[in-house]
Structure 1
């Protein structure tokens, strides 16, 4: 059944690949498995465990902003993993970090706002000898409340997109739910029941079994002793924890630990362990999808033939293609529109500007000179914290000794901590500006509406360049922060001016004279000092103290 099932899945994958570029993929109810779950259900971890690699974008808020059609293809003749995107034919990605970046980049090409979502899917193929032939559709995680700059109706948008997929009769629903929450409150099961009340098409996955309260387990649910109407099984799995992900714990090691946990668990034991875990889930999903395709694919043949006749009629009405000269002219015009649109969007280089709304250049100016500046000021508004750090640094620098002069070590340590505060904020500022540039580019390519493929090419190259520039700029920021921390210049004129401004009492004439003479003699230090309840102004040079 494995080989036969794999062949059936490959047939559907080929149909998906052929129909998607033509814009017909949503017109056919192809058999598939849609993965749904809340934002904290462990949906992404399940998918990554099935693939065997970290490849999905992670972060707070809505991370999956476009459906991801994930096609796993077993290649017994290959010893390496690699991925291919339908929008970049022929280009192989061997580094799964590059796959993650490409998913993010392709999402940004389609969705101009960082918090928006799009129904247009991204097609990704993963080739490996270590996977089973399987196709899954990763949908955005369900959310309840709009945060930051998310649209107020973000919950309704995501729900509408999910229902668009799982309402189809040929779609199996993989409902991912955390075992440490009440199943009655599961968003995934609730939405699945809405379109599949009898549970014919729904497969339940319970994650985080290891995080359930002490003395409790999910044995009754896994054994089918529950009131939830599912004709198919519940399968229990264990995901990597956030600590495991941060420490880059190998997924193969995590699968070994998962298997060991189920075998040694007193409730699940060796008997139930064979029908639990990620590896069993892979085999189960392939078997169920293959049987589903076997039953559902034949009725699609008449529909495909009808659509093919429609396409042939449309092809017969298309005029002859453009000549070489016309193509050159179209390309030159498209480039000119793109360039002039970007200049207009950035501003500062055109004679006529928009009077209704701020352009992208103005928004970038505001981000860098106002938003960033205000954020910097907030970092240093707490003088009590800074004074406390200075005091602790001075005491630690002296150690067991009793010192007279403020040691350079304390000063440098405090300053380095303050410089470090700029790192994350500056990197965020780079992302702010990048988001604005992405919006400008996305608006510019809309001017090339007559030629969709040319528009996509311009968009791809421009946004790829923006993303690469984002990485380079962040590297520059990192180097700049490290450069500033390498050498603290205490005799810089700005620092000396600042120290002078902080003095509340002017120097007496004699002290001014002594300081002036000392400066001519290459002074090392000068400051106030208290001795026997009296304040003295001291000047220390290479040979004397006065």
Structure 2
């Protein structure tokens, strides 16, 4: 089995990696969070509950900021590492990785000369101010608990400003000392009921929300701090733990200020679990008094004084073996070790699953753009080919959209032909008018040939509208398919500049194809204005003439035909109508063929040909501009890479520890 130091140290390293890589349980970036799956001990208590004193007793160091109002305004992840007795103890902040804060018991001025001896030998320096500068530059070892306290306050202000705001971003402090057990605690802002001057009214709810974000997690162990000189029923920490852990299986109760209770009273009902039962025994703590703090009583001496208090107390002597800060630290360390060991398999499973998900998303997003112009050109051409494949899939039926073109040919074009006003155009009145105008000053003698030609030419012109409308309708479909294809080409999504360039080039090409299709279809209509003899030879001549019912004789009676009567003009209208119908039937087949040849086929074959020519003329330095990424996509890739780095680091940390059952 891995040692306690290995288990807790493993979680410490993963927690530090989480903070360094931006994972502190914040869901705002819509990224998986490892922080929330790690077992933690959250220290919860109201203001003036003795929370800071409990932590200092566990650490055996006077290092936390003190003051009135809300002092803790950022979570403090306190990682304790037990080292050999006699070894040099020190503290390190995650945000100052190469700076050690040492010799907790001394003040800064008295310890400074001993920190500088190495460099005063190397440099002939007479000015004290210069000696101090050399020390800061060459020997980053800062001494005194007062500096640890000041750095916590300064780092808090760096994130929140001096406006007493709060922040969920944690501060990581590691303490290496022979007087601690291996343990990690998270000190949270004290629960409060009233905002102090300089804070928004929302700070009360903000603090509660922040504390809840920790204690709501099923992996969080709650260290609920309550003062013994107040009714346990009014404890802010117990009230909150009841809500999030009603069974009490994650809560450790700590009762402080036992020595400040009224004479003749004790806290046995609480400590023995009668007032409020938890699954773990309550632990009583006696902190240093304010007078002890003012006199700077040594923390080790304070621990001894606490032990003596419980052993000599008539109320608590029978509980002395499980009272005090030393016992509390060991209890928490052992429990945290057990929880970590139990949760390692599920954490490992989560890590492996999330690594797969992040790698899959990064594959979708794509790799960062290469700086080499040749590689950039290759990327551009590959993206164009990817777009072209998607566009062709739409046309060929692999994706939806291409069927709309057939809908234009099969529905819209025939419907448009049926709506053409040939009945009105070939009315007797209009035919007579057109024929008369064609005859001019000299009426036709037998057949109004010029009238026929004018009627046919003007009638065929009606087909031009549907022909052009067909070209335009197919053009609209093709443009829409270009737009959809750009959106559906996954690798292209991250390059908005290239998307716009491809869209512009494709639409320009489609405009050229449309113009070619328009000219071709109009020529098809115009060609039908040449009247072939064959059609008119087959038409019945003088349909109004009547043959039959004549008496048998050697000479037939002459038939009279009125070349200017309504019946004659109706015959002309009928003949022209038949010709126009014949042409219309042919155009219903020819127009789609022309449109497909000039627009659809060309779009499949050469949609981006002109764009490729333009790319070939560009300077190498211009390729990078085309590959400018969508800032949101760029940020997402960076976030995913950082989070993937975190999970892989956590996996490596876990793999480095030997687990045995």
**14 and 78 in structure 1: CA distance in 2 versus 1, 3 angstrom threshold:** farther
The corresponding residue for 2:343 is: 296
Among 160, 185, 204, the alignment partner of 2:234 is 185
8 A Cα contact 1:30 1:297, kept in partner = no
Is residue 16 from structure 1 mapped to residue 24 from structure 2 by the alignment? no
SS of the residue 1:90 aligns to:
strand
The corresponding residue for 1:237 is: 285
The corresponding residue for 2:167 is: 118
Question: Aligned equivalents of 1:240 and 1:315: distance in 2?
Answer: 54
Shift of 1:93: 1.1
Is residue 137 from structure 1 mapped to residue 186 from structure 2 by the alignment? yes
SS of the residue 1:125 aligns to:
strand
The corresponding residue for 1:34 is: 42
Question: Aligned equivalents of 2:307 and 2:92: distance in 1?
Answer: 31
The corresponding residue for 1:389 is: none
Unaligned runs of at least 5 residues, structure 1: 324-449, 452-546
**310 and 86 in structure 1: CA distance in 2 versus 1, 3 angstrom threshold:** farther
8 A Cα contact 1:72 1:135, kept in partner = yes
Deviations 1:295-353 (A, max 9, x none): 22211112112333355467774536999xxxxxxxxxxxxxxxxxxxxxxxxxxxxxx
SS of the residue 2:21 aligns to:
coil
CA RMSD of aligned residues (A): 2.2
Is residue 101 from structure 1 mapped to residue 150 from structure 2 by the alignment? yes
The corresponding residue for 1:211 is: 260
8 A Cα contact 2:42 2:187, kept in partner = yes
SS of the residue 2:322 aligns to:
coil
**7 and 180 in structure 1: CA distance in 2 versus 1, 3 angstrom threshold:** same
Matches within 5 A, 1:270-285: 271-285=318-332
Question: Aligned equivalents of 1:53 and 1:321: distance in 2?
Answer: 52
Among 63, 69, 84, the alignment partner of 1:61 is 69
**321 and 287 in structure 1: CA distance in 2 versus 1, 3 angstrom threshold:** farther
Question: Aligned equivalents of 1:192 and 1:304: distance in 2?
Answer: 29
8 A Cα contact 2:24 2:169, kept in partner = no
Deviations 1:28-50 (A, max 9, x none): 22001000001110000000111
Deviations 1:427-483 (A, max 9, x none): xxxxxxxxxxxxxxxxxxxxxxx99xxxxxxxxxxxxxxxxxxxxxxxxxxxxxxxx
Equivalenced residues, count: 323
Matches within 5 A, 1:46-445: 46-76=54-84, 79-94=87-102, 95-226=144-275, 228-269=276-317, 271-312=318-359, 317-319=366-368
The corresponding residue for 1:484 is: none
Question: Aligned equivalents of 1:9 and 1:246: distance in 2?
Answer: 34
SS of the residue 2:254 aligns to:
strand
8 A Cα contact 1:66 1:120, kept in partner = yes
8 A Cα contact 2:42 2:214, kept in partner = yes
Question: Aligned equivalents of 1:71 and 1:263: distance in 2?
Answer: 30
Question: Aligned equivalents of 1:78 and 1:16: distance in 2?
Answer: 28
8 A Cα contact 1:19 1:25, kept in partner = yes
SS of the residue 2:225 aligns to:
strand
Structure 2 length-normalised TM: 0.47
Question: Aligned equivalents of 2:176 and 2:357: distance in 1?
Answer: 34
Question: Aligned equivalents of 2:207 and 2:24: distance in 1?
Answer: 20
